[in-house]
Amino acid sequence: MNFLNNIQEFTKEYIEVGEFYENCRCLFGLELIAENDGFSKKIREGSIHRPGLALAGFLDLFTYNRVQIFGNTEIKFLHSLPDEKRIQSLKKFFEYDIPCIVFSNDHTPNEKFIDFARERKVSIFKSKHATTKLIYFLSDFLDDQFAPQCSIHGSFVDVYGVGLLFVGISGIGKSEIALDLVERGHRLVADDLIIATRKGEGVLMGTGSKIMKHFLEIRGLGLLNVEKIFGIRAIRYQKRIEVVVVLEVWDENKDYTRTGLDKQTINILGIELPMVILPILPGKNVTVIAEVIALNYLLKHYGYDAAEDMQERIKQQIQEKTEKRDKRIVSYFEHDFE
Amino acid sequence: MIEKEVTILNRAGLHTRPAATLVKLASKFKSDFYLMQDNLVVNGKSIIGVMTLCAEQGSKLKLRFDGEDEEEAAKEIVDYFNRGFDEL
């Protein structure tokens, strides 16, 4: 498919500590303890690390380039060391180019620790959360930041809670369908430029671009702001992409599915999504069909498949008929005089 | 497929007017036309896509033309970029 061939997968190479802090502060109250000079340092990995072993002196596999978490164990361990040894251990630890350090359980480092960090321009943060919870939050955030992304040309609407992504060549009417769906009470996620992100295994999230969120272009009208016209109920910021609807000009020579038994899928960022190819014909109400696609998807999700149901019924009927006939294998006995 | 690199020359950057003209130009051709900046790939036949780039003066864009009339399309569109969207 031409318009999806152009998908270019990309992943962030790094995020800066400053950006990391700004986001985590808003998301789960990460606090800055010391050092602002380290905000331009780069976090290049989505994983995090608890440096217990590194502090103990085992530095062979020290993944220093990850965000370092100091929990109860690390703190207790450092406290247990005699002063001289502790300084030696920290000295070695800070020799590595660490992006930043996060203390859990509301712990705060002592002056000596802060001095070391300041010297090496390493930012120190703290969090009220317990270590396990903090690790969960941080990993989730970093996973998202380093998730594979791509931009897709299409329209993306939440229809009855199902994320329908409309794709097709320019001018086929993607935006018009989106507008029509909004008018019928559904919610626009993004039009024209959709940024898809793989979240976890098997989930594809879609959102619009920062600048153009919830703007639509309708040929002949120009640019429209959907949020201003229809209000807050007409929009949403993000949605899982669940079904891809491919709009195309009716092609006589192409076979379109008639039963729905041949389930078609499309691969975006390594995730297989159900796909519906919809030929556009005069008199075809694509909006209603889109609603039905969403409802049918929901129905399937709850365990009912119309095509399979029909297939099952037909199979049963045929079987019954055959059984009836089978009661007497020979339908007509010729005279048999023996 | 043809790929070209262009620089935004005019002071105001790729704002609404040139974006509209660009889309109009691109729509004349059958070929697909994409603009790429950093990781973003946008369809050059859609005004919202082009405007999303918010390309400022001096920024570099990669253009991709793909289709039967790609050469003519590339020639005309690259020329429009090089003229600084007629705002120089």
CATH number at residue A85: 3.40.1390.20
Q: Which among A95, A128, A145 is the end of a domain?
A: A145
Residues A160 and A140 in one domain: no
pLDDT band for position B64 (cuts 50, 70, 90):
very high
Tell me what the mean pLDDT of segment B57-71 comes to.
92
pLDDT band for position A282 (cuts 50, 70, 90):
confident
Residues A279 and A195 in one domain: yes
Provide the shortest C-alpha distance from residue B20 to chain A (in Å): 10
Q: Which among A126, A145, A164 is the end of a domain?
A: A145
| A170:B46 CB<8 A | yes
pLDDT over 90 at A293, yes or no: yes
pLDDT over 80 at A333, yes or no: no
Structure tokens at A332: 């007509």
Taking alpha carbons only, the member of B34, B52, B61 closest to residue A6 is B34
Residues A183 and A126 in one domain: no
> For A224-266, how does the pLDDT look when each residue is reduced to its tens digit (9 = 90+)?
999 999 999 999 999 999 999 999 988 888 878 777 777 889 9
Residue A7 lies in a domain: no
> What are the E-state strand segments in chain A?
15-16, 31-34, 42-43, 48-49, 67-70, 100-103, 123-126, 149-159, 162-167, 187-199, 203-207, 215-218, 222-225, 238-240, 243-249, 265-268, 271-280
Distances in Å between the alpha carbon of A103 and those of A70, A120, A127, A204? 5, 17, 6, 32
Q: In the prediction, which pLDDT does A129 show?
A: 92
Residue A320 lies in a domain: no
Residues A28 and A113 in one domain: yes
Residues A201 and A255 in one domain: yes
Residue A324 lies in a domain: no
Spell out the domain ranges in chain B.
2-86
> For A158-201, how does the pLDDT look when each residue is reduced to its tens digit (9 = 90+)?
999 999 999 998 888 899 999 999 999 999 999 989 999 998 88
pLDDT band for position A35 (cuts 50, 70, 90):
low
Residue of A nearest to B38 (CA): A10
Question: Across all residues in chain A, what is the average pLDDT?
Answer: 88
pLDDT over 80 at A324, yes or no: no
We report the CATH number of the domain holding residue A160 as: 3.40.50.300
Q: How many domains does chain A have?
A: 2
Residue A119 lies in a domain: yes
pLDDT over 70 at A330, yes or no: no
Residues A32 and A132 in one domain: yes
Q: Which chain A residues touch B if contact means CB-CB below 8 Å?
A: 2-3, 6-8, 10, 149-151, 153, 170-171, 191-193, 209, 211-212, 215-217, 223
- Residues above pLDDT 70, as percent of chain A: 95
The fold for domain B2-86 equals: Histidine-containing Protein; Chain: A; (3.30.1340)
Whether B21 and B68 have beta carbons less than 8 Å apart is answered as no
Q: In the prediction, which pLDDT does A307 show?
A: 84
Q: In the prediction, which pLDDT does A251 show?
A: 83
Distances in Å between the alpha carbon of A117 and those of A31, A77, A121? 16, 18, 6
Q: In the prediction, which pLDDT does B54 show?
A: 87
pLDDT over 90 at B6, yes or no: yes
Residue A68 lies in a domain: yes
pLDDT over 80 at A98, yes or no: yes
| B41:A151 CB<8 A | yes
DSSP string, A188-253: EEEEEEEEEEEETTTEEEEE--TTTTTEEEETTTEEEEHHHHH-GGGB-SEEE--EEEEEEE--TT
pLDDT over 90 at A323, yes or no: no
Residues A129 and A75 in one domain: yes
Q: Is B60 labeled as catalytic in the residue annotation?
A: no
Q: Which of A258, A324, A328, A335 is catalytic?
A: A258
> In terms of pLDDT, which residue wins out, A326 or A44?
A44
Residues A202 and A266 in one domain: yes
pLDDT over 60 at A25, yes or no: yes
Residue A5 lies in a domain: no
Return phi, psi of residue B49, to 5°: -55, -50
| A216:B48 CB<8 A | yes
Q: Is A174 labeled as catalytic in the residue annotation?
A: yes
pLDDT band for position A322 (cuts 50, 70, 90):
confident
Residues A153 and A286 in one domain: yes
Spatial neighbors of A334 by CB under 8 A, at least 6 apart, are: none
Q: In the prediction, which pLDDT does A226 show?
A: 94
Q: Which residues pair with A153 in a beta bridge?
A: A193
Q: Which residues pair with B50 in a beta bridge?
A: none
What residues in B contact A147, CB-CB < 8 Å? Answer: none
Residue A178 lies in a domain: yes
Residue A122 lies in a domain: yes
Spatial neighbors of A320 by CB under 8 A, at least 6 apart, are: none
Which residues constitute the domain of residue A284? Answer: 148-301
Structure tokens at A134: 């903090």
